[in-house]
A and B are shown apart, each in its own frame.
Chain A
Amino acid sequence: EIVLTQSPGTLSLSPGERATLSCRASQSVSSSYLAWYQQEPGQAPRLLIYGASSRATGIPDRFSGSGSETDFTLTISRLEPEDFAMYYCQQYGSSPWTFGQGTKVEIK
């Protein structure tokens, strides 16, 4: 199974700053089948990015995804108050689907 390792575990930033989250795979992710989800406390996850770089419907353009094979990045260009949350990457190119352990973006 593909193991996804996210870093850092916690990112402490201020509103308006840029956030860069990393997701590294133990082996190449087929056809960049990599997604990013946001989860606020007590809420269900929400799809942000699929196919490594495509924004899901209704997702603001301050969210962007990049990368291929084993290295992927989620960038939030300017943090809004509602962006402070947990973020997970997930690969869906091979079975079983696997998730990273998450990165928490917290207010500094």
Chain B
Amino acid sequence: EVQLLESGGGLVQPGGSLRLSCAASGFTFNNYAMTWVRQAPGKGLEWVSSISGFGGSTYYADSVKGRFAISRDNPKNMLYLQMNSLRAEDTAVYYCAKVSRKVVVAATIDHWGQGTLVTVSS
């Protein structure tokens, strides 16, 4: 059974940094791309970033490009999202999600974690 467990969320001041982690199990981690999707309180879903199975290709939404960095540690089955220069509009539940293929192109999200809340406020 695929399991994705996020951690690292919390309250941070504007301009601050936070690193989210996602522990994956139940599948061969390096065979699949991974992604982060966020959901602001009471709002819809917004794709944030994706990374290919071996980590060689990364993708970012314009809203986070240059501030966020996605990475993975395949031997440890871990996915990360380093978030810098945080803004109030980054406040959201951040979901770690498994992609259906090793590459991001033409692949959808087939499993989601339960999410971790990030609140950016002074």
The chain A residues found within 8 Å of chain B, CB to CB, are 30-31, 33, 35, 37, 43-47, 50, 56, 88, 90, 92-93, 95-102
Contacts and interface: CB of A to CB of B under 8 A. Distances in A.
B45 A45 contact: yes
Nearest to B6: A44
Contacts, number: 53
A93 B110 CA distance: 15
Contacts of B110: 47, 50, 56
B49 to A, nearest CB: 10
User: How extensive is the interface on chain B, given as a class?
Assistant: 20 to 34
Interface string B87-122: 000000001000010000011111111110000000
A44 B47 contact: no
Contact of A44 (B44, B50, B107, B113): B113
B95 A44 contact: yes
B114 A44 contact: yes
Given A33-B108, A35-B108, A44-B95, A88 B114 contact: no
B62 A47 contact: no
B100 A50 contact: yes
Contacts of A95: 59
Given A88-B45, A99-B45, A46 B112 contact: yes
A45 B112 contact: yes
Nearest to A86: B44
Given A31-B106, A35-B109, A96 B44 contact: no
Contacts of A92: 106-109
